């Protein structure tokens, strides 16, 4: 729960986003102590059905929306968009990730909201940015992975057919860059008194967060200059050793005395093949994983277990750092979620144990606190269909 020792205590956030990039920004802001209100449509965020469903909530939705309050508004109903504009007047931050132009259809675009609230910071996350030749194209993480070059590069380096990675890198990159952008805008607002619009394109975020972008900019052929971190089958299961193989060979050769089997006059590919075989044989000589690990450590090689994600949460490091948090599953028990990674020396952050909200669960509380709407007015909005509530207690 947010308190005076939370970094963003007192910051009000209106989260109009759905699925991943925007909701993840809101989740991190909530974990850092901001008061985050998710404005959800009557049909709900599509992710409410993604993953394991416990009681009323799915794992995916829970993970991205822990710690938020929820107001369920039908923007198509008479007065729905106006109600959200009133909330935006009271907010410090608005987060949205609709296709450019959608917010303007409801009078919730930056031009409108900044007139109502000059101190507002608005973060808009889209595929190709708010303006430009492709601004209105549908964009998902997989599209960004393909268009930014990482799908082709991975296939070239691995010698396989192009395939999308099994993680939404583009969404998370854009979310984290969005988080940096809006927090920077809040700091600047403290100096100038004025908010601003933070335009985050997933496309830009992918290029900016690519450590191999310099190769493309310098005209280096696709796949050249990319370090391949190899996976080795060893006793007890595969491990990955980080670094170019030339470094791995040098350390094993020098520290453990593995002889170079390369015949005189061998070509570079032949030399690499022979040395790979020698290193593989050295690893295979161990029938005890702990002894192999000790040998790798003695050679000053960085290596890692090739784990399933489930076991990653049970690793000694994950346990020591509290990478898993328990929150209310809204069905009488608790469920695990990923903990945010921020660890402060003198501040509190982390997942709210109260869990994720139901649709419209906090209609009365938020509208009463932010807008001072009386109970009778909230009742009227519920009866007219402007507000909806999944919770029977609301």
Model pTM above 0.85? yes
Over the chain, what is the mean pLDDT? Answer: 95
Q: Compute the distance between CA of residue 172 and CA of residue 194 in angstroms, rounded to an integer.
A: 28
Q: How confident is the model at residue 393 (pLDDT cuts 50, 70, 90)?
A: very low
**pLDDT-wise least confident of 65-69, 99-103, 134-138, 385-389:** 134-138
260: helix, strand or coil? coil
Query: Which pairs with CB-CB distance under 8 Å and at least 24 residues apart come from 149-153?
Result: 149/210, 149/216, 149/222, 150/206, 150/210, 152/222, 153/212, 153/222, 153/223, 153/226
Q: How confident is the model at residue 391 (pLDDT cuts 50, 70, 90)?
A: low
Q: What is the CATH number of domain 12-213+335-388?
A: 3.40.50.10540
Per residue, what are the HEC states of 366-387? HHHHHHCCCHHHHHHHHHHCCE
pLDDT in tens, 264-292: 999 999 999 999 999 999 999 999 999 99
pLDDT computed for residue 222 by the predictor: 80
pLDDT in tens, 288-316: 999 999 999 999 999 999 999 999 999 99
The average pLDDT across 219-226 equals 85
End-to-end alpha carbon distance in the chain: 21
In this structure, the chain runs to a length of: 394
The average pLDDT across 325-351 equals 96
Confidence check: pLDDT of 46 > 70: yes
Q: How confident is the model at residue 390 (pLDDT cuts 50, 70, 90)?
A: confident
Percent of the chain with pLDDT over 90: 94
Alpha helices, DSSP H, located in the chain: 21-31, 59-65, 80-89, 102-105, 110-116, 141-148, 150-158, 169-192, 202-208, 213-217, 245-256, 268-284, 289-298, 309-312, 316-321, 363-371, 375-384
Residue-range domain boundaries for the chain: 12-213+335-388, 230-309
CB 391 within 8 A of CB 360: yes
Confidence check: pLDDT of 394 > 50: no
Q: Compute the distance between CA of residue 201 and CA of residue 144 in angstroms, rounded to an integer.
A: 10
Q: Please, what sign has the CA dihedral across residues 317, 320, 321, 323? A: positive
Q: What is the CATH number of domain 230-309?
A: 3.30.1540
Q: Please, what sign has the CA dihedral across residues 346, 349, 350, 355? A: positive
pLDDT in tens, 132-181: 899 899 889 999 999 999 999 999 999 999 999 999 999 999 999 999 99
Indicate which residues carry an active-site annotation: 171
Task: Count other Cβ atoms within 10 Å, centred on residue 178.
Answer: 26
Confidence check: pLDDT of 392 > 90: no
CA distances from 359 to 48, 71, 366 (A): 10, 7, 13
Task: Count other Cβ atoms within 10 Å, centred on residue 217.
Answer: 9
pLDDT computed for residue 73 by the predictor: 97
* Nearest partner of 235 among 285, 287, 305, judged by Cα: 287
* Nearest partner of 342 among 325, 330, 360, judged by Cα: 325
């Amino acid at each position: 729960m947010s308190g005076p020792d939370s970094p963003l205590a007192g910051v009000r956030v209106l989260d109009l986003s759905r699925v991943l990039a925007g909701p993840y920004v809101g989740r991190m802001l909530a974990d850092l102590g901001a008061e985050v209100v998710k404005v959800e449509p009557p049909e709900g965020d599509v992710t409410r059905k993604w993953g394991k469903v416990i009681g009323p909530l799915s794992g995916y939705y829970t993970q991205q929306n822990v710690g938020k309050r929820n107001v369920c508004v039908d923007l198509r109903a008479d007065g729905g968009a106006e109600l959200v504009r009133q909330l935006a007047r009271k907010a410090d931050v608005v987060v949205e990730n609709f296709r450019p132009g959608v917010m303007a259809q409801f009078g919730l675009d930056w031009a409108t909201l900044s007139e109502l609230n000059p101190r507002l910071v608005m973060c808009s996350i889209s595929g190709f940015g708010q303006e430009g030749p492709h601004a209105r194209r549908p964009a998902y993480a997989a599209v960004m992975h393909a268009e930014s070059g990482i799908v082709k590069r991975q296939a070239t380096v691995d010698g396989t057919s192009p395939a999308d990675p099994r993680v939404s890198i583009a969404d998370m990159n854009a979310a984290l860059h969005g988080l940096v952008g809006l927090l920077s805008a809040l700091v600047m607002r403290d100096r100038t008194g004025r908010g601003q619009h933070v335009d985050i394109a997933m496309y830009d975020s992918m290029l900016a967060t690519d450590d191999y972008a310099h190769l493309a900019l310098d005209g280096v052929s696709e796949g050249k200059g990319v370090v391949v971190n190899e996976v080795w089958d060893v006793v007890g299961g595969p491990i990955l050793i980080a670094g170019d193989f030339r470094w791995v060979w040098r350390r094993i050769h020098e520290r453990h005395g593995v002889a170079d089997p390369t015949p005189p006059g061998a070509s570079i590919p032949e030399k690499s093949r022979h040395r790979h075989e020698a290193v593989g044989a050295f690893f295979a000589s161990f029938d005890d994983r702990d002894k192999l690990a000790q040998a790798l450590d003695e050679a000053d090689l960085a290596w890692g277990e090739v784990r399933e994600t489930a076991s990653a949460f049970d690793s000694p490091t994950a346990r020591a750092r509290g990478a898993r948090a328990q929150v209310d599953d809204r069905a009488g028990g608790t469920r695990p979620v990923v903990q945010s990674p921020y660890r402060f020396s003198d501040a509190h952050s982390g997942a709210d144990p109260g869990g994720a909200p139901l649709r419209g669960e906090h209609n009365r509380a938020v509208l009463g606190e932010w807008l001072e709407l009386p109970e009778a007015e909230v009742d009227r909005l519920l009866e007219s269909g402007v507000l909806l509530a999944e919770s029977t207690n609301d």
